[in-house]
Amino acid sequence: MTLAYAWQEIVTTYISAAGVSTVVGEVTTVPSPSVKRDTIEVTSQSSHGFKEFINGMKEGDEIEFKMNDISSDPGQMALSAAATAGETGTIVLTFLNGQSVSFPALIEGFYLGEDSKAASNSCKMKITGDIVRSTTPVQLSALTTTAGTLLPTFAAGTYLYTVTATTATVTVTPTSVGASIMVNGTTVASGSPSGAINVVSGGVKEINIAVSKAGSTPSVYKIVASKAT
């Protein structure tokens, strides 16, 4: 049986050249990355009327991510800084079922604009290496929040949760021994609570927990917190 997964609710993470992992917020368009090979013609006089080719160098596509413009978002700021520096980093796309796709990319440019009268931006990049697919990312062993009970119940292989908060600020406590953990772009020690996160009354707040470890594919957990009015 084939278990398909949707190209939606994708978490985009940027890992800088220095190894800092940051979730990019408010991404509206996630491109499909691809790599192709050049072909080199080697037609000889004995080709029987057909052109002959061999494989040449591989080349990654130029792709573009689009986002709602949030000037304070750590991930958007990281991409903007990388574009200014002409940095090559790593993009990780994490799907709801835990599968991920990662690839190195040269950050070419970061552009401000508008989409249907709303402020937006886009980031263009050039894939500079192989696209790696993984089904065994580094995971959390526990995740709790002062907001209340996570729905569904926490499981290492479940990456999206909702919770209804009764207070204006909440914290989350992620656990993954030996891993680097960032909550909304800020480093948090394994088993320790994050800083206070504001939850607006009547609104929702996305809390992204990025988990990375040398030699493993990073993963991202998302909590969508809403506050009871």
Cis preceding-peptide flag for 152 (omega within 30 of 0): yes
Per the model's pLDDT, the better-predicted residue between 20 and 112 turns out to be: 112
Q: What are the C-alpha distances in Å from 99 to residues 27, 137, 146, 202?
A: 18, 8, 28, 32
High-pLDDT (> 70) share of the chain, %:
96
Whether the Cβ atoms of residue 145 and residue 183 lie closer than 8 Å to each other:
no
135 pLDDT band, cuts 50/70/90, is: low
Per the model's pLDDT, the better-predicted residue between 13 and 192 turns out to be: 192
- Residue written as token pair 């596509």: 61
Query: In the prediction, which pLDDT does 217 show?
Result: 76
- What length is written for the chain? 229
Query: In the prediction, which pLDDT does 183 show?
Result: 92
Q: Which segments of 10-85 are extended strands (E)?
A: 11-15, 21-24, 27-29, 35-41, 53-60, 62-68
Q: Which CATH architecture has domain 11-34+60-134?
A: Roll (2.30)
Structure tokens at 102: 């990662």
Domain limits, the chain:
11-34+60-134, 142-227
Q: What are the C-alpha distances in Å from 213 to residues 1, 48, 217?
A: 32, 54, 7
Q: Is 90 exceeded by the pLDDT of residue 85?
A: yes
Q: What are the C-alpha distances in Å from 69 to residues 55, 75, 81, 115, 208?
A: 41, 11, 15, 10, 18
Among 157, 155, 145, 158, residue whose Cα is nearest residue 225? 145
Per the model's pLDDT, the better-predicted residue between 228 and 212 turns out to be: 212
Write down the pTM of the prediction: 0.69
Q: What class is the 142-227 domain? A: mainly beta
Query: In the prediction, which pLDDT does 99 show?
Result: 78
Report pLDDT digits (tens) over 154-189. 998 888 899 998 888 999 999 999 889 999 888 999
Query: In the prediction, which pLDDT does 1 show?
Result: 47
